[in-house]
Amino acid sequence: MTWEKTTRDGTKSDLGFWPGDLWDLVCSEPDACLRVNCQFFRECFFHSARREALDAQVLIANHSLL
């Protein structure tokens, strides 16, 4: 998939089209995530974003995420 290699942060808006059911196959689901046991952990967009958030001095979040 070209998007995986060209997107900086793995956002759906980088695709340029609405992926429909395909997005369900590539999005992050906490219950299905193997975390550090996953072979793609280091390249994972979700975990990269979490690592960046841990290093942030200011974090703006939707109240439902807190």
Supply the range of the domain harboring residue 44.
2-65
For residue 36, pLDDT over 80 is answered with yes
Number of domains within the chain: 1
Q: pLDDT tens digit string along 43-55? A: 888 888 888 888 8
For residue 66, pLDDT over 70 is answered with no
For residue 26 the two structure tokens come to 């590539």
| Spatial contact of 14 and 7, defined as CB atoms under 8 Å apart | yes
Average pLDDT along the chain: 79
Structure pTM?
Answer: 0.58
| Collapsed DSSP state (helix, strand, coil) of residue 62 | coil
Of the candidates 5, 16, 33, the one whose C-alpha atom is nearest the C-alpha of residue 50 is: 33
Q: pLDDT tens digit string along 21-33? A: 777 777 777 777 8
pLDDT at 32: 75
| Spatial contact of 46 and 28, defined as CB atoms under 8 Å apart | yes
